[in-house]
Amino acid sequence: MGYIASEKRYEKMEYRKCGESGLKLPSISLGLWHNFGDNGNFENMKNMCCTAFDNGITHFDLANNYGPMPGSAERNFGKILNKYLKPYRDEIIISTKAGYTMWDGPYGDYGSRKYLMASLDQSLKRMNIDYVDIFYHHRMTPETPLYETMWALNDIVKSGKALYVGLSNYNGETMLKASQILNELHCPFIINQNRYSIFDRTIKNNGLLDSAISAKKGLIIFSPLAQGLLTGRYLNGVPSDSRVKTDGRFLNEKHLTFETLGKIEKLNEIAKRRGQSLAQMALSWIYSQEGITSVLIGASKPEQITENLKMVQNLNFTKEELLEIDNIVL
């Protein structure tokens, strides 16, 4: 018997519009940056996707280079989609990106029209779908004129291969310039994707958060748990199945300094007082702020998804709590 989605999947999830657009995203979206590559367990990947959808997580976020190997996350998600989730395709938001190195030579990186269009064609083929809901340019690339990149995004929408476009890892100034071009082209640019967490306030410092609000664009956050630092997993040593031990590309033991662990411990005490896990508080802290559309989580098992979903149960922070968090971290 195939997968049948829970009839209660929309009962508890909250959805917010991407800026002034008509598209809504769930409070929590599932990112496939980690644990969906060739080194993952397919049955576990399927269970995570189905658990997510059963709980109202309608948005699955990918990129051309997610793996390892690059492309494997899209390929694995495509198998899950076509075998288990295909009847629900019109209830699902699929996003992918191009902008980082994907293949050798001068045409497999950055932001040229050739690279973006070729990359999306490859992504669609790997996932065995006709279109994505959101296609992002993955990073600012001074090597390519901004107009060329935006022109390509516009033509991708006109081709029917994407419904909306987004920008990822842009600062506020460049995003506003890009937005002006896309508005003139009447291209549905609706969302920005950037890193943000209690530990990483870059989008406030580079103007992106304020610019997204003023331009009425959505903002979806990745790495909200600082690659796992804000989960409390490392307060009593390094678990053997943690990202530090199994991957180490983006988080390794050099990040686990005495000072950082001290901050995590203090933040964990605040979370306990709030009746939350540290991860739930870290997600609530982001989602409670103005301008945030959705928070992207990664997971290595279905239970992490259901635990993180509890963040919506306590989104209110007192001024004293916010000040205490800032004093610990900043």
5, part of any domain: no
Tell me: pLDDT of 165 over 60.
yes
Arithmetic mean of pLDDT, 155-167: 98
Contact predicate 232/268, CB 8 Å = yes
191, part of any domain: yes
Tell me: pLDDT of 231 over 60.
yes
Question: Whole domain around residue 216: which residue ranges?
Answer: 15-252+279-316
265, part of any domain: no
Confidence tier at 145 by pLDDT (50, 70, 90): very high
Q: Could you give the 3-state DSSP secondary structure of residue 28?
A: strand
CATH of the domain at 216: 3.20.20.100
257, part of any domain: no
Arithmetic mean of pLDDT, 238-247: 52
Tens digit of each residue's pLDDT (9 = 90 or more) over 88-137: 999 999 999 999 999 999 999 999 999 999 999 999 999 999 999 999 99
Report the relative pairing of strands 132-137 and 28-31 from DSSP bridges.
Answer: unpaired
324, part of any domain: no
Arithmetic mean of pLDDT, 146-174: 98
What is the number of domains present in the chain? 1
9, part of any domain: no
Arithmetic mean of pLDDT, 247-253: 54
258, part of any domain: no
Burial 58-82 (b: 16+ CB within 10 A, else e): bbbbbbbbbbeebbbbbbbbbbbbe
